[in-house]
A and B are shown apart, each in its own frame.
Chain A
Amino acid sequence: MQSAPLPETLANLLGLDPNSTAVMIVLSLVGAGLIGTLMMTNTALAGPWAKRKITAAFTDRIAVDRIGPYGLFIIVADAVRLLSKELIVPEGADRPAWDLAPLIIASTALLGFAVIPMGNGIHLADPEVGLAYVFAVASTTSIGLVMAGYASNNKYSFLGGLRAVAQNLAYEIPLILTGASVVIFAGSLQMSEIVAAQQQSLIGPLPSWYAFVNPFAFVLFMIANLAEVGRNPFDIPEAPTEIVAGYQTEYSSVYFVLIYLGEFIHIFLGGAIIATIFLGGPAGPVLPGIVWFLIKIWGVFLFTQWARSAVPRVRIDQLIEIGWKGMLVLSLANLLLTAVIVGVTV
């Protein structure tokens, strides 16, 4: 599965010199563009179309089916609709923080994909600290949420921003601790190493994906991930029936699109991390790696939509309690246990 990162592959493909810095910079940008476009395409499919179809399936409805096959062209219609709306700037908004927030929310999530191995050589960079980098950039989204919250000059936004930070603080630590337990297994933070470590067989045809090796950590990570991306039962930063739309209350038009886009990319990034460290990355039989990888992240997306349709929302104090008293303790226990097991067996 080990393959050279994307810029080198591109250089070889185009017959350029992989040792020239200028060539590599240009090709890195090209590669980043390709991966960014791939993920945004997925988001475009997920946001206006798949989300509607999935929710409709959960609730005995049909959803969009008028424009194009299976209503797919609603994506185009929605893009035109959303981009042509008036951008309303609230009085007293703190600019440029108010303008920067959507950009930060959308871009930070996108940055994380740089180190994710997607199979078939689609892997922009493979630094040794890959996993730490992903968590780091994913966490910076919180800054965007706070900025959006306070800069909107709206009390609902303010409450939503505060909720978002409290929630991200409470759930990122268990998330990272659980991720660290995988690092103990794999013995590396490098994404390609983590993927490679999951390729042996565990029992018979069952691969040694960490979801099978340590299902407990997998479950913890899935739950913490739900909180991280703010989906039921942890969608309290937005909580439409309580605080209207939280930090995104005052955003309209393009800014709204950016925030929404950021949220969906974040869900996909969460899916990508889960796929990489628990589900063997792009590994899978018959189909090419990139297809398996996309299937896995869409699987995680489906899970978040399922939770959204069927599970009630917890209250803010209950959320914090679950985070600090439950998840944190469990993830620490998981980390210790993993360390002990790995220490004894290796």
Chain B
Amino acid sequence: MSLEKPSRDTALDVGVTEDGLDYDALADLLGGHILDREEHLNAEGFVIRPDEVQEVLSTLKEEAGFDHCACVTAQEYDDRYESIYHLRKYNDPTQELSIVVPSPKDNPHNESAARVYDTADWHEREAYDLVGIDYDDHPDLRRILLPETWQGHPLSQDYNQDQPQIVSLREHANPLEDDKRSEDDPDTMFVNIGPHHPATHGVLHVETVLDGEQIADLEPDIGYLHRCEEQMCQQGTYRHQIMPYPDRWDYISAGILNEWAYARAAEDLADIEVPEYAQVIRTMAAEMCRIASHELALATFALDVFGDFTAVFQYGIRDREIVQNLLEDLTGQRLMFNYLRLGGVAWDLPEPREEYFEKIRDFLDDLPHKLEEIHDLVTGNEIFQMRCVDTGVLSPEQVKQYGATGPVARGSGVDYDIRRDDPYGYYDELDWNVVTEQGGDNFSRVLVRLREVEESARIIEQCVDLLEQWPEDDREIQANVPRTLRPDPDKEIYRSVEGAKGELGIYIRSDGTDKPARFKIRSPCFSNLQTLPEMSQGEYIPDMIASLGSLDIVLGEVDR
């Protein structure tokens, strides 16, 4: 609820010291399991045997308090495959540890972490799908982004891009035919919700088994919007060619937040210092994006619960439109901003500056009244409360198991916000609060978003004050960055920012060229979506739809 960090559970503080993690203490905890220790820019990496993954990870989770498996990165080297488990702690994400698991080149396989962290289930399926590592003891190792019939693993070195891929419709002929789940029980019915359905917010396919109107079983099937974003980033140069891509992950108005994720990772990788003035502009623009994104989340959630494109949807869009105009004035674009640069931003605030500040202040002045209106119409409505309170409940334990972040985690009372816990930009200089709700239901998630809009407005207001008083001769928007950026070879970094949907992380490994050797995106929606089956089992279809809406997924970011 405030900028004070939550108190720590001292029993799980192995190696925690005043100035960061003492990795030697952690190494002592793991003892003989550690084969080697690597230096990554964000944390140390412990190299372990591929058949001891579960043992090591459960020790770290239970005894050292690493309760957040943020991401699983898989990659192929010339002599080996490698999976990296990026571990952090929910109560202090600056305490990071990478577990590096090499596996042999000819038969890459290592033990799955899905038994320890539920979130590893999908992350490892993705690693299997794109890189080709087999995970032993994985509950359900199938392709996740590509069609079942795909041949080869696109991010592996021997992948033949010219090989024709035949995706036969036969494979997807009739989902009923091989549907064991409904054959066993004649009272159930199998329904494909999506990929074309009014409530799936894009091309999500939810395979659902219904018992009457209730959900007996459910499985999200993703990958319809997979556009090889990671591979495209690996083929672009750091300096200029990658920045436009992040706009296209969470493409509905969270562009600057995404760009900042890449900017933060790449700037830390190449050791670029961003001028303070640019940081303030970034912070302001990012929070505008957050407002736009949360307004749209509310609008589409109302669409799911109210039924049609009704008043609430239009009000949400109307308010978002104003932010969109402000961002357009700033960046020249409405959605695909491409405004951040490594080491700064593309250009200064629009002239005349006073007029622009006036516009922002007008918007901020009107905002409380508009939010009041939304509260009257939506959260104050008894039918809305009837629908949303105590439906789609997600406990804090489930949140941590599935690596859910952002408003989804904060709606379940998990006080986790990268902006405060792992500060970047200008956030730690400003006065604002992290919003949490204890309910864990659909209603809490909506409330969190609405109140975060207020907090973002506070941040923007302070940024405007700062920018207004900024001395004219000190308005430096761009640091000195070489025209061609070549970070030193074999540096690895995982850095995240608080995107609109949660922890948006980027892993980059450099190889001395001007392009990343491995570019991995940790999408918050990807992890958040995994909680859908937990939330909806046994509930009614409308509640499942509402839960899906309250997760606020963007398929562009889930599938990448």
A interface residue numbers (CB < 8 A to B):
55, 58-61, 155-156, 159, 232-233, 235-236, 239-244, 308-318
CB distance B381 to A312 under 8 Å? yes
CB distance A316 to B540 under 8 Å? yes
CB distance A244 to B197 under 8 Å? yes
Residue B189, interface by CB 8 Å: yes
CB distance B314 to A232 under 8 Å? no
Give me 16 other A-B pairs in contact (C-beta within 8 A), A59-B310, A232-B310, A241-B198 excluded: A59-B309, A236-B542, A240-B198, A240-B308, A242-B545, A243-B541, A308-B307, A310-B377, A311-B383, A312-B307, A313-B306, A313-B387, A314-B386, A315-B540, A318-B386, A318-B387
Residues of A contacting B213 in the complex (Cβ-Cβ under 8 angstroms):
159, 316-317
Knowing A244-B198, A316-B213 are in contact, say whether A310-B543 is a contact too (CB < 8 A). no
CB distance from A249 to the nearest CB of B (A): 11
Knowing A235-B307, A244-B197, A312-B384 are in contact, say whether A317-B540 is a contact too (CB < 8 A). yes
Interface size on B, residues (CB 8 A): 31
CB distance B314 to A241 under 8 Å? no
Residues of A contacting B508 in the complex (Cβ-Cβ under 8 angstroms):
none
Closest to B214 in A: A317
Bound: A315/B307 CA distance, A: 11
Residues of B contacting A58 in the complex (Cβ-Cβ under 8 angstroms):
310-311
Residue B181, interface by CB 8 Å: no
CB distance A310 to B311 under 8 Å? yes
Knowing A239-B542, A311-B306 are in contact, say whether A155-B199 is a contact too (CB < 8 A). no
Bound: A61/B317 CA distance, A: 12
CB distance B307 to A241 under 8 Å? yes
CB distance A312 to B305 under 8 Å? yes
Decide if the interface of chain B is mainly helix, strand, loop or mixed.
helix
Residues of B contacting A156 in the complex (Cβ-Cβ under 8 angstroms):
191
Residues of B contacting A318 in the complex (Cβ-Cβ under 8 angstroms):
386-387
Residues of A contacting B308 in the complex (Cβ-Cβ under 8 angstroms):
232, 240, 308
Residues of A contacting B311 in the complex (Cβ-Cβ under 8 angstroms):
58-59, 309-310
Residues of A contacting B545 in the complex (Cβ-Cβ under 8 angstroms):
241-242
Closest to A56 in B: B314
Residues of B contacting A314 in the complex (Cβ-Cβ under 8 angstroms):
383, 386-387
Bound: A311/B543 CA distance, A: 17
- B residues 42-101 near A (Cβ < 8 Å) are none
CB distance A313 to B305 under 8 Å? yes
Bound: A243/B305 CA distance, A: 13
Closest to B192 in A: A155
Residues of A contacting B250 in the complex (Cβ-Cβ under 8 angstroms):
none
Residues of A contacting B189 in the complex (Cβ-Cβ under 8 angstroms):
155
Task: Render B361-400 as a binary contact track against A, CB cut-off 8 A, 1 for contact.
Answer: 0000000000000000100010110110000000000000
Task: Render B513-555 as a binary contact track against A, CB cut-off 8 A, 1 for contact.
Answer: 0000000000000000000000000001111010000000000
CB distance B542 to A316 under 8 Å? yes
Residue B304, interface by CB 8 Å: yes
Residues of A contacting B315 in the complex (Cβ-Cβ under 8 angstroms):
59-60
Most buried by B among A59, A233, A242, A308: A242
| Partner pick for B307 among A55, A59, A240, A244, CB 8 A cutoff | A240
Residues of B contacting A316 in the complex (Cβ-Cβ under 8 angstroms):
213, 540, 542
Residue B303, interface by CB 8 Å: yes
Residues of A contacting B318 in the complex (Cβ-Cβ under 8 angstroms):
60
Residues of A contacting B543 in the complex (Cβ-Cβ under 8 angstroms):
315
CB distance from A327 to the nearest CB of B (A): 15
CB distance B191 to A155 under 8 Å? yes
Knowing A159-B213, A312-B305, A318-B386 are in contact, say whether A242-B381 is a contact too (CB < 8 A). no
CB distance from B470 to the nearest CB of A (A): 37
CB distance from B37 to the nearest CB of A (A): 52
Residues of A contacting B310 in the complex (Cβ-Cβ under 8 angstroms):
55, 58-59, 232, 308-310
- B residues 309-357 near A (Cβ < 8 Å) are 309-311, 313-315, 318
CB-CB nearest 10 A-B residue pairs: A59-B314, A241-B199, A313-B307, A312-B384, A312-B383, A312-B306, A309-B311, A241-B304, A315-B542, A312-B305
- B residues 167-199 near A (Cβ < 8 Å) are 189, 191, 197-199
Most buried by A among B199, B306, B307, B310: B307
CB distance A232 to B377 under 8 Å? no
| 19 residue pairs bridging A and B, Cβ less than 8 Å apart | A58-B310, A58-B311, A59-B309, A155-B191, A159-B541, A233-B383, A242-B199, A242-B541, A244-B198, A310-B311, A310-B377, A312-B307, A312-B381, A313-B383, A314-B386, A314-B387, A315-B540, A315-B543, A318-B386
- B residues 146-171 near A (Cβ < 8 Å) are none
Closest to B197 in A: A244
Closest to A243 in B: B541
Knowing A60-B318, A310-B311, A316-B542 are in contact, say whether A241-B303 is a contact too (CB < 8 A). yes
CB distance A313 to B314 under 8 Å? no
Residues of A contacting B302 in the complex (Cβ-Cβ under 8 angstroms):
312
Bound: A73/B315 CA distance, A: 28
CB distance B306 to A242 under 8 Å? no
Residues of B contacting A236 in the complex (Cβ-Cβ under 8 angstroms):
542
Knowing A241-B307, A242-B199 are in contact, say whether A315-B387 is a contact too (CB < 8 A). yes
CB distance from B43 to the nearest CB of A (A): 43
Residues of B contacting A155 in the complex (Cβ-Cβ under 8 angstroms):
189, 191
CB distance from A74 to the nearest CB of B (A): 18
Bound: A318/B384 CA distance, A: 12
Residues of B contacting A310 in the complex (Cβ-Cβ under 8 angstroms):
310-311, 377
Closest to A155 in B: B191
CB distance from B46 to the nearest CB of A (A): 47
Task: Render B217-237 as a binary contact track against A, CB cut-off 8 A, 1 for contact.
Answer: 000000000000000000000
CB distance B314 to A61 under 8 Å? yes
Residues of A contacting B309 in the complex (Cβ-Cβ under 8 angstroms):
59
Residues of B contacting A243 in the complex (Cβ-Cβ under 8 angstroms):
541
Most buried by A among B305, B306, B386, B543: B306
CB distance from A170 to the nearest CB of B (A): 14
Residues of A contacting B304 in the complex (Cβ-Cβ under 8 angstroms):
241
Bound: A243/B193 CA distance, A: 9
Residues of A contacting B305 in the complex (Cβ-Cβ under 8 angstroms):
312-313
Closest to A306 in B: B311
Residues of B contacting A59 in the complex (Cβ-Cβ under 8 angstroms):
309-311, 313-315
- B residues 485-517 near A (Cβ < 8 Å) are none
Knowing A59-B310, A155-B191 are in contact, say whether A242-B542 is a contact too (CB < 8 A). yes
